[in-house]
Structure 1
Amino acid sequence: MSITGERPVETREEISPRWVRPPSSRRAVARLVQFVGAASAVFSALPPRHHRFSLLADMIPTAGLITARVAAAVVGVLLVYLGSGLRRGKRRAWQLALVLSLIGVAAHTVKGGLVPTIFAGGIAALLVARRDDFTAEGDRRNRWRALRACATFLGAGFALGFAEIAVRVNHLDGRPGVLTWAGHAALGLLGVTGPVHFRSPLGGLTVSITTGAFGLLAFVSGALLLLRPSTGTCVAGTGGDDDRARLREMLDRHGDDDSLGYFALRSDKQLVWAPSGKAAIAYRVINGVSLASGDPLGLPSEWPRAIGQWLTDCAAHGWTPAVLGCGTSGGKAYRKSGLDVIELGDEAIVAPARFSLDGRAMRGVRQAVARMRRAGYTCAVLRQRDLPPETLAEVVSCADALRDGKVERGFSMALSRLGDPADADCLLVLCRDEAGELRGVLQFVPWGRRGLSLDLMRGDRTAPNGLTELMVVSAIEAAGALGVQRISLNFAVLRSVFARAEELGAGPVIRLWCRVLRAASRLWQIESLYRANAKYLPDWQPRFLCFPSARDLPRIAVAALSAESFLPAPGTPATIAARVRRAGPAA
């Protein structure tokens, strides 16, 4: 389903740059580089033909020929890997591809092979001719990471090569000195035979293979680290407190339109601001995808400028822009900036003033709530700021104990923390049994000044059926006294498919699509979330996914699943540990 209706007020193109699709020539170069890389790897695996380049074969020792074949294969694999970076216009990918192509020319010349040599030379010439197509910046921190990795592998290879020469000191021709040993080990890292001669060919071959392998590892690891996608500067880093203060002030003024606005305060989200500072985009970079969530923040008239800054940043770094779960207004603004928009699902919105447990449609919820209250379960609904410190500590401990698994899921519609003093306006629903033991916790984050958005839902699985219904109904019933006029519950992915499949006269395509989603619900809670929301008879508000082109959808889907913690998120152990510390004990 596409967005329909009136477009936002037109603004000048220079104020709101549109997303420009990468030139087709850049994609063609990337594909050619990948093809040549695959061909290079295949040619390297084929049996050698000794009648080719026989002169070079006589001049280069066996170890050098083996190293050349391995180097050609590694170069081919790396060229295939570089294709994705070239498609995104990464300058560093272009530099590495050019260097690898030249190395490929040398390696294929040494090992023998006219066709792959011509291919590698042609790719090098093409890259030089199209150098202006690759201007996206990389992460400067990757240079030092690559340098450290190269130094580590080169140092280890040198030490092992030197040690292997030392243990064979009695099997060397002549009496070469220690400096000669060091020169031989250093040249071996480059795949070149050094000045030390061994009486046994096996000894020399062993040293050459050891040093050559570590040299290749140093080169490969450095190349891979240089190509790691840039992630920008996190809000939690330098200047993060100022950005957070500005963002909270902005949400207080203009946060009534989007129920997901408060989730922009997650510690793993970054911000890009409009030049006026009156609007911003919250996003996170995952595997080269700049994943934003919800509508732009701030003054709607400044949204185009904020989107323009974000898209410019994406183009400068070679990121693929995508928006997860924006509303209708945000979807129109993103579509105007050049992104495609499709419906992702629906958000359940409950108006407490119109909510009632009466009627046949609410019989299931009414019975569940009555059953829990007869069993002695009670709920307290209050702001976090009103909780005594010992009670808040109990809530955090209970939520941590009741979490299903070790991973805190959520990105676009979850705060992933509990008990932070900065979240004093959050609303908590605490459900206790007849003995006073805490059995369930709900957390709602502020939605502007008159709304709440469901964030955290934890319940004891050993409690009687109806615990969740009791907590949700208690929050809705207490909303009037708290001045709350609307409550956002869970998001239902592709809800319209289930709803349309239940209608009279649903077509075969809808019914087939519904069966596919029900099968997928065995792994992910797709249908169950829809049913859990529908029982409260909410109003359904559509949410959309924005993306540059259909070919980017697989990468965007992987990035979104990683952000929502359905797939392992990238990061070093140190960054993961820091993320856990920032999220607090409930994460």
Structure 2
Amino acid sequence: MVLQIANLDPRLIRRDRIGEALAWGRAHRRELAILAVLVVALLGFAALRAILAEVRLKEVRAALHAIPQIQIVAALALTALSYLSLTLSEALSLRAIGIRLPWRTAALASFTSYAISHNFGLTLLTGGSARYRVYASAGLDLGAVARVGLLSSAAFWGALLGVAAVALLSGGAPVDIAGAVIPAFAGQVVAVAVLALLALLFIVRLRGVEQVGVGRFTLPIPPAATMAAQLGVAAFDLAASSAALFVLLPEATPQTIGLFFLAYAVAVSVAAASHVPGGIGVFEAIILAITPASNGGVFAALLLYRLIYYVLPLIVAAALLASVEGHRLRRPIAMGLSLAERSARYLAPPLIGLLVFTGGLILLISGALPAVHWRIHWLAHIVPLPFVEASHFAASLAGTALLLVAPAISARMRSGFLAARLLLAGGIVFSLLKGFDYEEATLLGVIAVILQYCRPAFYRRAGILDAPLQRTWLAAAAIAIGLSLWAGFFAYKHVAYHDDLWWAFAWKGNAPRFLRASMGAAVLLGAVACWRLLSAPIRPIGNMVLPLQVADTALALSSRADAALALTGDKQFLIAASGAAYLMYRVRGRTWVVMGDPVGAFADWSELVWQIRARCDAAHGRLCFYQASNELLPLLIEMGLQVMKYGDEAQVDLASFTLEGPASKSLRHSTRKAESAGLTFEIIPAAAVPAIVPQLRAVSDAWLGDKGGHEKCFSIGRFDPVYLARFDCAVLRQEGRIIAFANIWTTRNRAELSVDLMRHWPDTPYGTMDLLFVRLMQWGAANGYARFNLGMAPLSGLNGRRLAPLWSRIGHAIYGHGEALYGFSGLRSFKAKFQPIWVPRYVATMPGLATPWAMINLVGLIGG
């Protein structure tokens, strides 16, 4: 072995290692992406620290107080103009894809999506989700919403590049970025190239190219006039948003506008590409690196700008939607909901969750900064020092807890609401006791009022630890604590750090208080993160074992043979109060997948369906009904689920089944061939099945090996001797050896007969399975069964026309072109030989973005 390894080509070893590394990277790409965002955020904070090395906190505070009120009012007005122009850009994007909606709809979608994405980055996941909620309430599908978002983004980036190019051309001087000088000629070449690309886009549109696309997804290229209007509106937005910062800068003059806008364009681009929430740290570092002004004054302007342009619109959006949602929840039942009410129902809790997160961030940053001298001096005459020390530490812990509670607010958890309300109230008290910080106490009070007004929206009874605290939330919380650490080290850069600081308690001991509070916040976040990352996401809910009496009663009333899936041992159950019906399901990820219809008394179906709906909603899950029948459709529609046809089920009428006639010619031929090969059919009673399990296992293992797969579950049974011993078994023998088998499902009222596991040796004679089914159907007809269920033909019978729903068109395409993956059409052709009646079966999921995630979890669950 040593010699073989030594003789291997080193290039092959390197190639294998590279392949392994790439595979590992693909498997952990989400964790790596989050780590990359954290690294970029740390680099931004480090760059800010280096740039502001000579700046003191007292200089920043003095610069903030020196900004005239008229300039603050101008920044507020320009911010309003910027967000207004974004709504116009949204309306133009709607027009470009041929959709006419009222301006107020576009305004609501635009304002809420940008208020979120500006603060928390990841535009597609944050702002894109908010945009979808509004437009889905207005009747748009996911494809149309994606086109609107892409066109708005394209207009923004086109305008940003275009205006930056004009700024480069008009400057005519080298650009200095933190000591790195870009020659004027190089900047002008880049500017000309950018303008040429924009001009080329207009030329392409004028020459008749109306859309671009990948696969079936197409994106229209707006007419030249509409495109020019979009770029103009986006340019106005950039002018207003950048001017809102420019008017706050010290030493701002008309001569510096060009260079400033170039710095602003670069900062916005890099901050967006970094995916750091709000570009915090990254945006400020780039502006400070390029802008030729005193860093203390510029940094003060940047802090005020972030409050005006980022935080204030988020508070306004949350307050607006919370007021609409709170009003809706307090009204008597109305005939219908307005668009704003339908949108607020989905958006208000996430926005309030983001506000709660912001409240936690405020407490952390405040705890990192020194108290105002006169306020702490005033408190010294009223409150003992231990109260101040304890309040300062408690405020930072409350801030960290608010960061962690925010996901529970977004998930409508009652426990999260109660915890956030208590933490906000405590934060207000701690803010006043630690330094009489009435400004932050007022902000926390506003958030608490908004939260309290929407109290009825938080109805889910799951525990706070069941909230979906995802890695992205933990990363955002880590960045928030990192920001507070940066603020503290910036404020106390003159302090000589040593071990004794941890135990220094004094009225002027701001730095020791910061260290203790930061340590407490970091330990709390680390402990919760470790616990949540190592714990299971969702606990099982429901009966894991079906009581024998319930099973006996419900199965006796069922006319569906697949009710026997309750005996596979891989499901959970909800049982009706009468004990005459049950519903079987399983949780995977956040998706609750219900298998088929409820089993048992039809009168209990509504109770069971609404019960699973309530439990799933309380656990913040996604509900999915799999292989639902026509009888269940009214209840699914009543619950507001999105119903999609999954395929057709083949049911053979045993009373009319025959091998006579031209339609059965192929069956007669195949069964005769199988019989001529010496195959014989036999029904093995359930009591005798354990004796033949070794032979059945050999058949099963050979069948699985030939298919190159593994056992499936949930919608079919596994090869389990205990499970197989519950049923009679149909076998085919050749010279006494079992070469094929199928366990038999029956209903007690003899309404239906079916099979579950169907397996055979790979080298069985032609017509083996045809013979097995034919003999089973003849046996069933002789024993009084009404029909034989051949099972599903997935994705068959779906409509692929242009006006059909998206799911139907996708399924139709897979059915037509996915034969190599599954054999969809071949499976239907096999079952069609028995002249069945095709009965539709459905999948029903929560509407919107929950659908694709539910389908992914469903496939994973069925695939084992």
Using the size of structure 1 for normalisation, the TM-score is: 0.62
- 1:432 is aligned to 733
Letter in 1 for 2:555: L
Q: Which of 621, 625, 629 in structure 2 is aligned with 1:323? A: 625
- Seen in structure 2, the aligned counterparts of structure 1 residues 211 and 292 have a Cα distance that, compared at 3 Å, is same
Whether the 8 Å CA contact 1:138–1:230 is kept in 2: the answer is no
- In the alignment, the residues of structure 1 paired with residue 810 and residue 857 of structure 2 have an alpha-carbon distance, to the nearest angstrom, of 27
- In the alignment, the residues of structure 2 paired with residue 140 and residue 79 of structure 1 have an alpha-carbon distance, to the nearest angstrom, of 8
- 1:189 is aligned to none
- In the alignment, the residues of structure 2 paired with residue 376 and residue 272 of structure 1 have an alpha-carbon distance, to the nearest angstrom, of 48
Deviations, residues 405-436 of structure 1 (Å, cap 9, x unaligned): 6743232x423354327953x232223334x4
- In the alignment, the residues of structure 2 paired with residue 288 and residue 81 of structure 1 have an alpha-carbon distance, to the nearest angstrom, of 15
Q: Which of 454, 462, 480 in structure 2 is aligned with 1:138? A: 462
Whether the 8 Å CA contact 2:554–2:580 is kept in 1: the answer is yes
Deviations, residues 17-47 of structure 1 (Å, cap 9, x unaligned): xxx999854532333256569999999xxxx
- 1:353 is aligned to 655
Whether the 8 Å CA contact 1:139–1:230 is kept in 2: the answer is no
- In the alignment, the residues of structure 1 paired with residue 351 and residue 777 of structure 2 have an alpha-carbon distance, to the nearest angstrom, of 59
1:539 and 2:837 aligned: yes
Q: Which of 185, 210, 217 in structure 1 is aligned with 2:526? A: 217
* SS of structure 1 residue aligned to 2:561: coil
- 1:344 is aligned to 646
- 2:749 is aligned to 449
- Seen in structure 2, the aligned counterparts of structure 1 residues 141 and 134 have a Cα distance that, compared at 3 Å, is closer
Letter in 2 for 1:263: L
The CA deviation at 1:539 is 0.9
- In the alignment, the residues of structure 2 paired with residue 260 and residue 555 of structure 1 have an alpha-carbon distance, to the nearest angstrom, of 26
Whether the 8 Å CA contact 1:230–1:317 is kept in 2: the answer is no
- 1:91 is aligned to 414
- In the alignment, the residues of structure 2 paired with residue 517 and residue 212 of structure 1 have an alpha-carbon distance, to the nearest angstrom, of 54
* SS of structure 2 residue aligned to 1:561: helix
- In the alignment, the residues of structure 2 paired with residue 260 and residue 375 of structure 1 have an alpha-carbon distance, to the nearest angstrom, of 32
Whether the 8 Å CA contact 1:453–1:487 is kept in 2: the answer is yes
The CA deviation at 1:491 is 0.6
* SS of structure 1 residue aligned to 2:834: coil
- 1:232 is aligned to 541
Greater relative contact order, per chain length (Cα 8 Å cut-off, separation 6+): 1
Whether the 8 Å CA contact 1:75–1:104 is kept in 2: the answer is no
- 1:29 is aligned to 348
- In the alignment, the residues of structure 2 paired with residue 222 and residue 136 of structure 1 have an alpha-carbon distance, to the nearest angstrom, of 23
User: How many residue pairs are counted as aligned between the two chains?
Assistant: 460
Letter in 1 for 2:787: R
- Percentage of identical aligned residues: 22
* SS of structure 1 residue aligned to 2:643: strand
1:290 and 2:592 aligned: yes
- 2:118 is aligned to none
Unaligned ranges ≥5, structure 2: 1-335, 373-394, 468-497, 505-516
Whether the 8 Å CA contact 2:553–2:580 is kept in 1: the answer is no
- In the alignment, the residues of structure 2 paired with residue 83 and residue 326 of structure 1 have an alpha-carbon distance, to the nearest angstrom, of 33
1:245 and 2:549 aligned: yes
1:402 and 2:703 aligned: yes
- In the alignment, the residues of structure 2 paired with residue 210 and residue 368 of structure 1 have an alpha-carbon distance, to the nearest angstrom, of 77
- In the alignment, the residues of structure 1 paired with residue 466 and residue 441 of structure 2 have an alpha-carbon distance, to the nearest angstrom, of 31
Deviations, residues 215-260 of structure 1 (Å, cap 9, x unaligned): 5432113356789334213332xxx4xx2332223212x112x333
- Seen in structure 2, the aligned counterparts of structure 1 residues 29 and 173 have a Cα distance that, compared at 3 Å, is closer
Using the size of structure 2 for normalisation, the TM-score is: 0.44
- In the alignment, the residues of structure 1 paired with residue 540 and residue 663 of structure 2 have an alpha-carbon distance, to the nearest angstrom, of 48
The CA deviation at 1:300 is 1.9
- 1:475 is aligned to 776
* SS of structure 1 residue aligned to 2:797: helix
Deviations, residues 462-506 of structure 1 (Å, cap 9, x unaligned): 434533323222322322344333211121223213xx77xxxx8
- Seen in structure 2, the aligned counterparts of structure 1 residues 32 and 365 have a Cα distance that, compared at 3 Å, is same
- In the alignment, the residues of structure 2 paired with residue 446 and residue 339 of structure 1 have an alpha-carbon distance, to the nearest angstrom, of 31
- In the alignment, the residues of structure 2 paired with residue 406 and residue 102 of structure 1 have an alpha-carbon distance, to the nearest angstrom, of 57
- In the alignment, the residues of structure 2 paired with residue 117 and residue 379 of structure 1 have an alpha-carbon distance, to the nearest angstrom, of 82
Report 1:515-530 matches (<5 A): 515-530=813-828
The CA deviation at 1:122 is 6.1
Deviations, residues 199-230 of structure 1 (Å, cap 9, x unaligned): xxxxxxxxx99998775432113356789334
* SS of structure 2 residue aligned to 1:136: coil
The CA deviation at 1:358 is 4.0
The CA deviation at 1:376 is 2.8
Report 1:48-197 matches (<5 A): 53=369, 85-86=411-412, 90-94=413-417, 126-138=450-462
- In the alignment, the residues of structure 1 paired with residue 450 and residue 607 of structure 2 have an alpha-carbon distance, to the nearest angstrom, of 37
- In the alignment, the residues of structure 1 paired with residue 677 and residue 528 of structure 2 have an alpha-carbon distance, to the nearest angstrom, of 67
Whether the 8 Å CA contact 1:291–1:322 is kept in 2: the answer is yes
* SS of structure 2 residue aligned to 1:228: coil
* SS of structure 2 residue aligned to 1:290: strand
Q: Which has the higher helix share?
A: 2
Letter in 1 for 2:606: P
Whether the 8 Å CA contact 2:711–2:718 is kept in 1: the answer is yes
- In the alignment, the residues of structure 1 paired with residue 745 and residue 841 of structure 2 have an alpha-carbon distance, to the nearest angstrom, of 19
Letter in 2 for 1:135: Y
- 2:847 is aligned to 549
Unaligned ranges ≥5, structure 1: 1-19, 57-67, 144-171, 175-191, 196-207, 567-587
Letter in 2 for 1:130: C
- In the alignment, the residues of structure 2 paired with residue 300 and residue 309 of structure 1 have an alpha-carbon distance, to the nearest angstrom, of 15
Query: Pairwise CA RMSD of aligned residues?
Result: 5.2
The CA deviation at 1:347 is 0.9
